[in-house]
Amino acid sequence: MEKSKRILAEALELTPIERAELVEELLASFSYSGRNSNDAVWAKEVEERIDAYDAGELTSSPADEVFQRINRNSKQR
């Protein structure tokens, strides 16, 4: 358990993008029967969000602003 705590502490020092990439790599290391269906559901969701954005139904924020908010919120915990 100590090793896990040390790794987590180090991971939390990464930038938000680096943490997201690490999470994706960790999740990809698991094999489970529903993975392909989960990927398909997420792909559909992404397409729907892109379509909604293109139709003016969703707004966006620059990535650097989003990551600054994430960093601020994670430091408040």
Same-domain status, 25 and 42 = no
Tell me, what amino acid is at 45?
E
Tokens of 72: 């601020």
Specify the length of the chain in residues. 77
pLDDT of residue 77: 66
pLDDT by residue for the chain (77 residues), tens digit each? 899 999 999 999 998 889 999 998 998 888 777 778 888 999 999 999 999 999 999 999 999 999 889 888 877 76
Domains held by the chain: number: 2
Residue 70 to residue 15: CA distance in whole angstroms: 10
Q: Flag whether the pTM goes above 0.75.
A: no
- Compute and round to an integer the Cα radius of gyration of the chain: 16
Question: Which stretch of DSSP H or E encloses residue 10?
Answer: helix 2-11
Give yes or no: residues 77 and 52 share one domain.
yes
Tell me: do 51 and 63 sit in the same domain: yes
pLDDT of residue 10: 96
Same domain, 26 and 48: no
Query: What distance in Å separates the CA atoms of residue 52 and residue 60, rounded to the nearest whole number?
Result: 11
- Domain span at 3: 1-30
Is 51 in the same domain as 65?
yes
Query: Is residue 39 domain-shared with residue 67, that is, in the same domain?
Result: yes
